[in-house]
Amino acid sequence: MTASVSLRLERIAIGSLVETRLSVAPGEVHCLSGPSGSGKSRLLRAVADLEPHAGEAWLGEVAQASLPAHEWRARVMLVPAESHWWADSVGEHLPRTSPADLAALGFTPEVLDWQVARLSSGEKQRLALLRAVSREPAALLLDEPTANLDDATTRRVEAWLVTRIRERGWPVLWVAHDPAQIARVASHHWRIEGSELLEVASWT
């Protein structure tokens, strides 16, 4: 495992958002909220180097601009609200997963033989999280990771994610709408208001 590092956004500007600055220490979860269409997903996509933007993101001492985009994205891993799948079976996407992680997310190892086409939206969402985590990134960008899940499954996924985040020391940006979820998982809460990202709460 590589040493844990912080994730910093230095004057990132995309869409109507200007001069976004924040620093996420290893193992911290910073939640982002804001009205629909305010730019939360686009900000994550900018940090993942998936959309042109002004400013710079840093992973420790490594600048986003200093790495080819695919290398940056392998380290700063985005789990989008709608996951992408390229092979037919679940197992082809999850070569390094453990039965314990599958069980923690409510699956038995048989899920690896399932066709992706049969997955429900909530199953896809949980397996996309597992896929991201099992690739051992250095930071995570989570776009509404529990949006398709019922309350009990949401709690189960949150607990699993927070445990992994603390174990690995990943800095995490987590888009969330539910104030109760933000209070459970976040160390900091930021909200997009107009063209600004404002810190509205901190629990550290």
Contact residues toward ligand ATP (CB under 6 A) are 15, 34, 36-42
Strand ordering across the sheet containing 54-59: 17-24, 7-14, 54-59, 62-63
Taking the complex as a whole, how short is the minimal distance between the CB of residue 79 and ligand ATP, in angstroms? 14
Strand ordering across the sheet containing 196-202: 76-79, 139-143, 172-175, 29-33, 188-193, 196-202
Q: Where are the beta strands (DSSP E) in the chain?
A: 7-14, 17-24, 29-33, 54-59, 62-63, 76-79, 139-143, 172-175, 188-193, 196-202
Taking the complex as a whole, how short is the minimal distance between the CB of residue 94 and ligand ATP, in angstroms? 26
Beta-bridge partner residues of 142: 79, 174
Task: Specify the residue, 8 or 45, whose C-beta has the smaller distance to ligand ATP.
Answer: 45
Taking the complex as a whole, how short is the minimal distance between the CB of residue 1 and ligand ATP, in angstroms? 31
Task: Specify the residue, 111 or 186, whose C-beta has the smaller distance to ligand ATP.
Answer: 186
Taking the complex as a whole, how short is the minimal distance between the CB of residue 176 and ligand ATP, in angstroms? 10
Task: Specify the residue, 156 or 177, whose C-beta has the smaller distance to ligand ATP.
Answer: 177
Taking the complex as a whole, how short is the minimal distance between the CB of residue 40 and ligand ATP, in angstroms? 4
Task: Specify the residue, 37 or 99, whose C-beta has the smaller distance to ligand ATP.
Answer: 37
Task: Specify the residue, 36 or 204, whose C-beta has the smaller distance to ligand ATP.
Answer: 36
Taking the complex as a whole, how short is the minimal distance between the CB of residue 33 and ligand ATP, in angstroms? 9
Residue 60's CB: how many other CB atoms inside 10 A?
A: 17
Contact (CB, 8 A) for 139 and 77: yes
Looking at residue 89, the DSSP 8-state letter turns out to be B
CA 91 – CA 111 distance, rounded (Å): 8
Task: Specify the residue, 134 or 148, whose C-beta has the smaller distance to ligand ATP.
Answer: 148
- Label the pairing between strands 139-143 and 172-175: parallel
